[in-house]
């Protein structure tokens, strides 16, 4: 059965309770709560809204629009990057996709921190202090310090020299042509005034009694949080991505991804409406408003640091264990009921894991391989190794029909493995994490296949996502697996293979060619089909 728009929407709705989505919730609450607090504080400053009357219909409508803008932002990332990560890889390359994501996360994280500083009131106070000390802004030393700090941020945020150099040139020209070094007082007065206007600074707040940020900023927050988040993938979302990866209808995949994102966004929209109803409470505690502003702004700053540093996904580790397994069962069971593959009376046994896992619609791997394509991929670095000379002819890449890039890893037990040493065997290359619930559900099935077909030439190599050896060793003991669990603490191998969703599994044939790339959890039946096809 093919995934449908209704199933995709339902899967997105259920994914809200997933431990892989929950890290987005405090980020969202932090931003929306900070925006709301900023609005109430601004109105209180001019004497508006001091009574406990109901919030106007217009204000509620504005709050809903901000929630929709946020949803549109992360939907854009889910749909566009989801399709880029599957259907258009030959044009952009998976390593370039990783660069795009890192770029959005770093630059966006800085914007989140900036908004957090604004919500706490630190930024307006800093600007006012500078304006009150003419001697400071009249000295070119402040401009030189700003130039140095800005250059460092550009180098760190843009990553690639091809982006860094033009940005530094533009930044330097702006400073010179704006008179930052020749007329620093005029430069700083004008710059601060423009920033204050853009952020509805305190002066403007007192005139207009508005604290709303633009809808563009809410959409930007959605983009940033989605780009800085490493999701684990349930069966339906994985099926849609696999459909696009295996040459299916890209347009249909885009529609399904959009439906999934809208389903996922509905609880966020409801959360925005609930936050909006808290305006009355905030007005009643106006004497503590500054503390509330500091709390919401500080939360946003912390989240911005997590996004910019690429550590947002580590929040998911707090939800590992039985809760992750339960969240996966909820999605699979509900989808099983929705498709009629499981009677609703079996809800209890299904959620307790007493029934077979629901066979949610999954796209089967394509039988044929795409034609070879050329690229100019450079030799990998760090733990990544160049291909042997005799294997240099096939195109090196991470998509079906391409030669799997070589690498060397160390396992949690201290063993070293090179992918090229496994030539002549069928390799199930699995990318996973301990905090990923769907990863946990498929691990026993990989172990079963490894035990049944190991003598036939099957190897399972599971590459962990940036976790410590102790964490991986504990997972091995908990799950009882015997195949190699490889460490990728730097993420080099994940980047090389363009992995941004977990789990992701590649089937590599005896000649080192990738025959299947699957996103999302695999069932026992699917694993058996893939293994038998590859071994035959």
The domains located in the chain, with CATH, are 5-134+212-318 (no CATH), 321-364 (no CATH), 392-535 (3.40.30.10)
Q: Which residues contact 206 (CB under 8 A, 6 or more apart)?
A: 42, 45, 46
Q: Name the pLDDT band for 85 (thresholds 50, 70, 90).
A: low
Q: Which two tokens stand for residue 366?
A: 């394509």
pLDDT digits (tens, 9 = 90+) for 59-69: 667 777 888 88
Position 6 pLDDT exceeds 50: yes
Strongest mean pLDDT among 120-124, 266-270, 486-490? 486-490
Position 206 pLDDT exceeds 70: no
What per-residue confidence (pLDDT) applies to 50? 43
Phi and psi of 471, rounded to 5°? -65, -45
- What is the chain's mean pLDDT, rounded? 75
* DSSP-derived pairing of the beta strands 426-432 and 458-464: parallel
Q: Name the pLDDT band for 108 (thresholds 50, 70, 90).
A: confident
Poorest-pLDDT segment among 157-161, 173-177, 371-375: 371-375
Position 174 pLDDT exceeds 70: yes
Higher per-residue pLDDT: 355 or 296: 296
Position 247 pLDDT exceeds 90: no
- Fill in the DSSP letter of residue 232: B
Position 177 pLDDT exceeds 60: yes
Position 439 pLDDT exceeds 90: no
Position 382 pLDDT exceeds 60: no
What distance in Å separates the CA atoms of residue 119 and residue 55, rounded to the nearest whole number?
A: 21
What distance in Å separates the CA atoms of residue 49 and residue 53, rounded to the nearest whole number?
A: 8
Higher per-residue pLDDT: 374 or 223: 223
Q: Name the pLDDT band for 256 (thresholds 50, 70, 90).
A: confident
What per-residue confidence (pLDDT) applies to 284? 62
Radius of gyration of the chain (CA): 26
Q: Name the pLDDT band for 181 (thresholds 50, 70, 90).
A: very high
Q: Provide mean pLDDT across the span 76-84.
A: 71
What per-residue confidence (pLDDT) applies to 461? 96
> pLDDT exceeding 90 applies to what percent of the chain?
25
pLDDT digits (tens, 9 = 90+) for 451-478: 999 999 999 999 998 888 998 999 999 8
Higher per-residue pLDDT: 513 or 329: 513
Q: Cis before residue 503, ω within 30 degrees of 0?
A: yes
Strongest mean pLDDT among 115-124, 212-221, 287-296? 115-124
pTM to 2 decimals? 0.64
Q: Provide mean pLDDT across the span 208-232.
A: 67
Higher per-residue pLDDT: 251 or 411: 411
pLDDT digits (tens, 9 = 90+) for 86-99: 555 555 555 566 67
Count of other CB atoms within 10 angstroms of residue 293: 21
> pLDDT exceeding 70 applies to what percent of the chain?
62
What distance in Å separates the CA atoms of residue 143 and residue 134, rounded to the nearest whole number?
A: 14
What per-residue confidence (pLDDT) applies to 221? 80
What per-residue confidence (pLDDT) applies to 379? 34
Position 242 pLDDT exceeds 60: yes
Q: Alpha-carbon torsion 49, 54, 55, 58, what sign?
A: negative
Q: Name the pLDDT band for 375 (thresholds 50, 70, 90).
A: very low
Position 216 pLDDT exceeds 90: no
């Amino acid at each position: 059965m093919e995934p449908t728009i209704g199933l995709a929407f339902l899967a997105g709705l259920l994914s809200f309770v997933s431990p892989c989505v929950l890290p987005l919730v405090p980020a969202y609450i932090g931003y929306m709560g900070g925006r709301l607090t900023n609005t109430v504080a601004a109105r209180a400053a001019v004497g508006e809204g001091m009574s406990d009357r109901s919030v106007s219909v217009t204000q509620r409508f504005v709050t809903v629009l901000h929630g929709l803008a946020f949803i549109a932002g992360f939907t854009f990332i889910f749909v566009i990057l989801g399709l880029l990560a599957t259907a258009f890889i030959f044009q952009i390359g998976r390593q370039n996709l990783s660069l795009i994501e890192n770029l959005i996360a770093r630059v966006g994280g800085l914007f989140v921190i900036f908004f957090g500083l604004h919500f706490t009131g630190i930024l307006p106070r800093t600007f006012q202090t500078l304006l009150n000390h003419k001697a400071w802004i009249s000295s070119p030393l402040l401009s030189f310090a700003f130039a140095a700090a800005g250059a460092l941020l550009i180098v760190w945020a843009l990553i690639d020299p091809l982006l860094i150099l033009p940005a530094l040139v533009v930044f330097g020209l702006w400073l010179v042509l704006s008179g930052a070094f020749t007329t620093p007082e005029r430069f700083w007065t004008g710059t601060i005034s423009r920033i204050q206007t853009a952020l509805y600074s305190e002066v403007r707040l007192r005139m207009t009694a508005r604290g709303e940020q633009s809808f563009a900023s809410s959409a930007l927050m959605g983009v940033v949080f989605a780009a800085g988040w490493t999701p684990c993938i349930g069966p339906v979302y994985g099926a849609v991505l696999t459909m696009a990866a295996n040459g299916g209808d890209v347009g249909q995949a885009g529609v399904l991804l959009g439906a999934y994102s809208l389903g996922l966004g509905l609880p966020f929209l409801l959360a925005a409406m609930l936050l909006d109803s808290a305006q009355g409470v905030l007005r009643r505690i106006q004497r503590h408003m500054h503390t509330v502003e500091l709390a919401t702004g500080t939360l946003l700053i912390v989240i911005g640091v997590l996004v910019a540093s690429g550590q947002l996904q580590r929040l998911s580790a707090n939800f590992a264990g039985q809760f992750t397994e339960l969240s996966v069962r909820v999605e699979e069971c509900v989808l099983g009921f929705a498709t009629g593959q499981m009677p609703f009376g079996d809800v209890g046994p299904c959620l307790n894991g007493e029934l077979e896992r629901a066979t949610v619609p999954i796209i089967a791997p394509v039988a044929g391989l795409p034609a070879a394509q050329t690229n100019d991929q450079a030799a990998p670095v760090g733990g990544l190794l160049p291909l042997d000379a005799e294997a240099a002819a096939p195109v090196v890449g991470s998509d079906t029909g391409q030669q799997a890039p070589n690498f060397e890893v160390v396992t949690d037990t201290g063993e070293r493995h090179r992918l090229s040493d496994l030539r002549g065997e069928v390799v199930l290359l699995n990318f996973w994490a301990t905090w990923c619930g769907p990863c946990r559900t498929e691990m026993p099935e990989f172990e079963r296949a490894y035990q049944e077909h190991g003598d036939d030439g099957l190897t399972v190599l599971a590459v962990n996502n940036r976790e410590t050896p102790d964490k991986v060793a504990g997972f091995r003991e908990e799950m009882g697996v015997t195949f190699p669990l490889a460490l990728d603490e730097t993420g080099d191998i994940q980047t090389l293979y363009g992995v941004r969703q977990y789990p992701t599994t590649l089937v590599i044939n005896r000649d080192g060619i990738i025959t299947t790339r699957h996103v999302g959890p695999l069932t026992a039946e699917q694993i058996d089909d893939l293994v038998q096809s590859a071994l035959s």
